[in-house]
A and B are shown apart, each in its own frame.
Chain A
Amino acid sequence: MDIHIQLTAVDYLILSSYFVFVLGIGFTLKRFMKGGAAFLTSGRSIPAWVTGLAFLSANLGAQEVIGMAASGAKYGIMTSHFYWVGAIPAMVFLAIFMMPFYYGSKARSVPEYLKMRFDEKTRGFNAISFAVMTIFSSGISLHALAKLLEVLVHWNYWTCMFVSAFIVLVYIFLGGLTSAIYNEVLQFFMIVFGFAPLVFLGLKDVNGWTALKEKLIPVATEQHFAAGTWTHSWVHMGSAFDNPMGINWVGMVVGLGFVLSFGYWCTDFLVVQRAMAANSMSAARRTPLIAAIPKMLFPALVILPGMIAIALHHSSGGHFLPLADDGTPDYNMTIPAMLAKYFPTGLLGIGFTALMASFMSGMAGNVTAFNTVWTYDIYQSYLVKNQSDSHYLWMGRWATVFGIIVSIGAAIIAKQFNNIMDMLQLVFGFVNAPLFATFLLGMFWKRTTGHGAFWGLLGGTVFAALFHLFAITEGGSPSWIKGGALAQKFVFHSDMGKNFWMAIVAWSACFFLTVAISVATRRTKTDAELTGLVYSLTPKPKSEDEPWLQRPAVLGAIIMAVAILMNFIFA
């Protein structure tokens, strides 16, 4: 049984009007793009509500909408750990403790902050690994989109890929980061308006939340889990054998909640760049907090449809989701299956456009992060120094073209990987997991040296890769991609568990190596040079003159309290 979405003229009208607006924003912004700074950093001129929604939307790539709905079906409400444990605390931490250094240092990128705080080699390492990673992520989004459209509406794979890449290219080429940010906000609203009716109709169809909980009991028991496994996020986390994620609470809290989450939200330039484009320090600090509010509610929009879909799949005797080759449900088809079932033409156009928007925003976010890092941290730093701002505008524009062409290449590579999520986690594990240790030490311990940071970071990445070569998932056959290629020393219950523990290993290795090497090496930067870059040497930003609700600490505390409450309600 395949899912097919039948679009009519009205749906095409909606889809094409959306693209008119997307491109229109690019064309309108073209006249403001007077130099490299305007193009690559938006000239630090954007209000907080816009950067906040873009901050969230840049993360709404392939892994978010399709992947989180898939996880909702596969793991139930435990998926909420990716939000209330694996996102909100890190976003609040970024706003309160880290944004003052990112924004206050006037760094134009995360690698540039590393250059200011440490040295050239640390920046170079981060810039190059980040550039590679963003291109991969962009390519994965592109591939996932093209594949999905091929299956759903029978459009040609290559046409889909080139047309969507071309649209992203045009609006970034014209309007730079501002265009990407504005379109991300458009995409954010599109996703909310496109998926909210899905949740409403789905819930109505299963007769509400209480009835859904009942329907999810056989889903759990049939897979030999306790009855409430799909509707409790914490209760069944005592042992990795008791839940479908195959991980215990320690690995989840430390691996996802601390290492991966802080590594992504606090150091990944893709999201941090949005906050850096804000028009004031206060707006920059509020950016992640404004993003955290909708982020906290997103489980209702993306996880709940997955839970509804698996309940319907089960109660219909396995006739709702299409089946994969091995006979298990094809979880990635959750959202498309729901769209096809409930949405009449018209509304279908909105939902379908939202789906496309989510992929394109993920891709555009990566492309803008790539062109800034390429232009400032690689091109300007190592290749062509001391040119005029308009020269870097030219380079930024062409980096966009180059980035998109390489993304298409990455998409072709991505075709051989089946599970987007695992692949992304693997890459983030190697590169991002150790990175947060470097930032934590760099921002809060002035004794951290450039040598310590660089070798610690490299060591952490190497440890991650080594761990990967010796670790395997139960029942899996050893391979370079799946792990355990050299030996199977560490056996995990699930891929996710293995990835979380790999992140923990990488982070710890980086942390201890950085401390040890920093103590053994001489400081090269004076206290004066580190002012504005390190916590103990920087005057605290004043927020007393703002209305109390706009103060980062107050807003952050409220958001944390609500997130904790959510964990309790759905425990």
Chain B
Amino acid sequence: MNFDLRLPVGLMFVVFGLILTAVGLFGSPELTAKSLGINMNLWWGLVQLAFGGVMLLLAARGKQK
């Protein structure tokens, strides 16, 4: 079967990462206060973005083979 699961997983986390990063950058400071003063949206958004990116990269490499 020719459908690499890493593609949707990667895409989904890139989308989530972008959304969270954007909320982290442009959201109100109250949001940061709720998560104990840490901008969790920004940090966790970046982590998800990185994870999604790696998954997409692996999917692309798998396709070349």
Q: Which residues of A contact B (CB under 8 A)?
A: 10, 13-14, 17-18, 21, 24-25, 28-29, 32, 43, 45-46, 50, 178, 182, 185-186, 189, 193, 197, 201, 204-205, 342-347, 349-350
Q: What residues on A are CB-neighbors of B16 within 8 Å?
A: 14, 17, 193, 350
Q: Chain B's nearest CB lies how many Å from the CB of A363?
A: 20
Q: Is B61 an interface residue (CB 8 A)?
A: no
CA distance A178 to B45 in the complex (A): 29
**Are B8's CB and A24's CB within 8 A?**
yes
Q: What residues on B are CB-neighbors of A342 within 8 Å?
A: 34-36
Quick one: which of A17, A32, A45 contacts B12, CB cutoff 8 A? A17
Instruction: From known contacts A21-B12, A25-B8, infer whether A346 and B27 are also in contact, taking CB-CB under 8 Å.
Output: yes
Beyond known contacts A21-B8, A186-B12, A344-B30: 16 more, CB 8 A cutoff = A13-B19, A24-B8, A32-B1, A32-B3, A43-B1, A182-B8, A193-B13, A193-B47, A197-B44, A201-B36, A204-B36, A342-B35, A343-B34, A343-B40, A345-B31, A347-B35
Quick one: which of A50, A178, A344 contacts B35, CB cutoff 8 A? A344
**Are B34's CB and A346's CB within 8 A?**
no
Q: What residues on B are CB-neighbors of A178 within 8 Å?
A: 1
Q: What residues on B are CB-neighbors of A25 within 8 Å?
A: 8
Q: Mind listing 24 A-B residue pairs with CB under 8 Å?
A: A10-B19, A13-B19, A14-B16, A17-B19, A28-B3, A32-B3, A43-B1, A186-B9, A193-B51, A197-B44, A201-B36, A201-B40, A204-B38, A342-B34, A342-B35, A343-B35, A344-B27, A344-B31, A344-B35, A346-B20, A346-B41, A346-B45, A350-B16, A350-B48
**Are B8's CB and A193's CB within 8 A?**
no
Q: What residues on B are CB-neighbors of A13 within 8 Å?
A: 19
**Most B C-beta atoms less than 10 A away, residue of A17, A46, A186, A347:** A347
**Are A18's CB and B20's CB within 8 A?**
no
CA distance A25 to B23 in the complex (A): 27
Q: What residues on A are CB-neighbors of B11 within 8 Å?
A: 21
**Are A29's CB and B3's CB within 8 A?**
yes
Q: What residues on A are CB-neighbors of B9 within 8 Å?
A: 185-186, 189
**Are A347's CB and B40's CB within 8 A?**
yes
**Are B35's CB and A345's CB within 8 A?**
no
**Are A345's CB and B23's CB within 8 A?**
yes
Q: Chain B's nearest CB lies how many Å from the CB of A15?
A: 11
Closest 9 CB pairs of A and B: A344-B31, A346-B23, A346-B41, A344-B34, A21-B12, A346-B20, A45-B1, A182-B5, A32-B1
CA distance A344 to B5 in the complex (A): 30
CA distance A204 to B37 in the complex (A): 11
Q: Chain B's nearest CB lies how many Å from the CB of A27?
A: 11
Q: Is B57 an interface residue (CB 8 A)?
A: no
**Are A345's CB and B19's CB within 8 A?**
no
CA distance A219 to B3 in the complex (A): 51
